[in-house]
Protein backbone atom coordinates (compact mmCIF):
# COMPACT_ATOMS: atom_id res chain seq x y z
CA UNK A 1 0.00 0.00 0.00
CA UNK A 2 1.10 3.55 -0.62
CA UNK A 3 0.79 5.15 2.82
CA UNK A 4 2.17 8.46 1.58
CA UNK A 5 -0.58 8.97 -1.00
CA UNK A 6 -3.19 9.46 1.71
CA UNK A 7 -1.03 10.78 4.53
CA UNK A 8 1.01 13.36 2.63
CA UNK A 9 4.47 13.26 1.18
CA UNK A 10 6.20 14.45 4.34
CA UNK A 11 5.04 11.63 6.60
CA UNK A 12 7.92 10.21 8.61
CA UNK A 13 7.67 6.80 10.23
CA UNK A 14 10.22 5.73 12.81
CA UNK A 15 10.41 1.95 13.23
CA UNK A 16 12.02 0.71 16.38
CA UNK A 17 11.52 -0.85 19.78
CA UNK A 18 10.14 1.12 22.69
CA UNK A 19 12.91 0.19 25.13
CA UNK A 20 15.83 0.53 22.66
CA UNK A 21 18.19 3.32 23.76
CA UNK A 22 19.09 4.31 20.20
CA UNK A 23 15.43 4.39 19.14
CA UNK A 24 14.62 6.55 22.16
CA UNK A 25 17.46 8.93 21.26
CA UNK A 26 16.05 9.22 17.73
CA UNK A 27 12.54 9.84 19.08
CA UNK A 28 13.83 12.45 21.51
CA UNK A 29 15.74 14.19 18.71
CA UNK A 30 12.70 14.20 16.37
CA UNK A 31 10.55 15.59 19.21
CA UNK A 32 13.13 18.24 20.16
CA UNK A 33 13.40 19.30 16.52
CA UNK A 34 9.57 19.36 16.21
CA UNK A 35 9.35 16.89 13.33
CA UNK A 36 6.01 15.27 12.66
CA UNK A 37 6.40 11.48 12.73
CA UNK A 38 4.70 8.27 13.68
CA UNK A 39 6.33 5.55 15.77
CA UNK A 40 5.91 1.89 14.85
CA UNK A 41 7.05 -0.49 17.60
CA UNK A 42 8.46 -3.54 15.84
CA UNK A 43 8.05 -5.77 18.88
CA UNK A 44 4.46 -4.77 19.70
CA UNK A 45 3.10 -3.89 16.25
CA UNK A 46 5.06 -6.45 14.26
CA UNK A 47 6.29 -6.13 10.71
CA UNK A 48 4.63 -7.22 7.50
CA UNK A 49 6.09 -8.60 4.32
CA UNK A 50 4.89 -5.62 2.26
CA UNK A 51 6.96 -3.21 4.35
CA UNK A 52 10.10 -5.35 4.09
CA UNK A 53 9.57 -5.83 0.35
CA UNK A 54 9.28 -2.06 -0.08
CA UNK A 55 12.38 -1.41 2.01
CA UNK A 56 14.51 -4.01 0.26
CA UNK A 57 13.39 -2.74 -3.14
CA UNK A 58 14.81 0.67 -2.15
CA UNK A 59 18.05 -0.36 -0.41
CA UNK A 60 19.93 -3.59 0.23
CA UNK A 61 18.39 -6.09 2.66
CA UNK A 62 21.77 -6.45 4.37
CA UNK A 63 21.44 -2.89 5.73
CA UNK A 64 18.32 -3.93 7.67
CA UNK A 65 19.44 -7.36 8.83
CA UNK A 66 20.96 -7.36 12.32
CA UNK A 67 23.35 -10.26 12.77
CA UNK A 68 24.86 -8.75 15.93
CA UNK A 69 21.77 -9.15 18.10
CA UNK A 70 21.00 -11.63 20.83
CA UNK A 71 18.01 -12.75 18.75
CA UNK A 72 20.36 -13.71 15.91
CA UNK A 73 22.56 -15.76 18.24
CA UNK A 74 19.50 -17.64 19.51
CA UNK A 75 18.48 -18.76 16.01
CA UNK A 76 19.64 -22.32 15.26
CA UNK A 77 22.88 -22.50 13.28
CA UNK A 78 21.17 -24.34 10.41
CA UNK A 79 18.84 -21.34 9.92
CA UNK A 80 21.77 -18.88 10.06
CA UNK A 81 23.65 -20.39 7.12
CA UNK A 82 23.34 -19.34 3.49
CA UNK A 83 21.20 -16.29 4.19
CA UNK A 84 19.42 -14.94 1.12
CA UNK A 85 17.12 -11.94 0.77
CA UNK A 86 14.00 -14.13 1.05
CA UNK A 87 15.35 -16.04 4.04
CA UNK A 88 16.33 -12.78 5.76
CA UNK A 89 12.85 -11.32 5.15
CA UNK A 90 11.24 -14.45 6.60
CA UNK A 91 13.49 -14.29 9.67
CA UNK A 92 12.78 -10.56 10.18
CA UNK A 93 9.02 -11.17 9.99
CA UNK A 94 9.30 -14.00 12.52
CA UNK A 95 11.76 -12.03 14.70
CA UNK A 96 11.26 -8.26 14.24
CA UNK A 97 14.19 -7.57 16.57
CA UNK A 98 16.45 -8.78 13.74
CA UNK A 99 15.76 -5.44 12.03
CA UNK A 100 18.56 -2.95 12.60
CA UNK A 101 17.07 0.05 14.25
CA UNK A 102 15.85 2.62 14.23
CA UNK A 103 14.59 2.80 10.66
CA UNK A 104 13.38 6.25 9.62
CA UNK A 105 11.26 6.12 6.49
CA UNK A 106 9.64 8.69 4.24
CA UNK A 107 8.65 8.53 0.60
CA UNK A 108 11.99 10.21 -0.19
CA UNK A 109 14.45 8.13 1.87
CA UNK A 110 15.05 5.26 4.27
CA UNK A 111 17.67 5.72 6.97
CA UNK A 112 18.91 2.85 9.15
CA UNK A 113 20.51 3.78 12.48
CA UNK A 114 20.62 7.16 14.19
CA UNK A 115 22.96 10.10 14.00
CA UNK A 116 21.64 13.56 14.92
CA UNK A 117 23.82 15.25 12.32
CA UNK A 118 22.80 12.83 9.58
CA UNK A 119 19.09 13.08 10.44
CA UNK A 120 19.35 16.88 10.31
CA UNK A 121 21.11 16.73 6.95
CA UNK A 122 18.66 14.34 5.26
CA UNK A 123 15.56 16.04 6.66
CA UNK A 124 16.85 19.44 5.55
CA UNK A 125 17.77 18.05 2.13
CA UNK A 126 14.31 16.59 1.51
CA UNK A 127 12.60 19.68 2.93
CA UNK A 128 10.73 17.78 5.59
CA UNK A 129 8.39 20.23 7.22
CA UNK A 130 8.50 20.63 10.94
CA UNK A 131 5.46 19.79 12.90
CA UNK A 132 2.14 21.43 13.42
CA UNK A 133 0.75 18.31 15.13
CA UNK A 134 2.36 15.13 16.41
CA UNK A 135 1.28 11.65 15.34
CA UNK A 136 1.09 9.40 18.39
CA UNK A 137 1.45 6.14 16.50
CA UNK A 138 1.47 5.07 12.91
CA UNK A 139 0.17 1.55 13.46
CA UNK A 140 -3.39 2.93 13.26
CA UNK A 141 -2.55 4.46 9.87
CA UNK A 142 -1.17 1.11 8.70
CA UNK A 143 -4.18 -0.88 9.92
CA UNK A 144 -6.54 1.58 8.25
CA UNK A 145 -4.59 1.37 5.00
CA UNK A 146 -4.58 -2.44 5.07
CA UNK A 147 -8.34 -2.47 5.54
CA UNK A 148 -8.81 -0.26 2.48
CA UNK A 149 -6.83 -2.57 0.21
The residues carrying an active-site annotation are 20
Q: How many helices (H) and strands (E) does the chain have?
A: 9, 4
- CA 106-111-116 angle, to 5 degrees, is 105
What is the helix (H) or strand (E) element at residue 24, kind and residue range?
helix 21-32
* CA–CA distance, 47 with 42 (Å, rounded to integer): 6
Amino acid sequence: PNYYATQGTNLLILYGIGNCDTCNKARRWLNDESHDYGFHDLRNDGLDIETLEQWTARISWQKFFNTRSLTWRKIPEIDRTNITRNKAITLMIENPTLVKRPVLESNKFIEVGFSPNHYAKILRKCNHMKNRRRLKTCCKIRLTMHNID
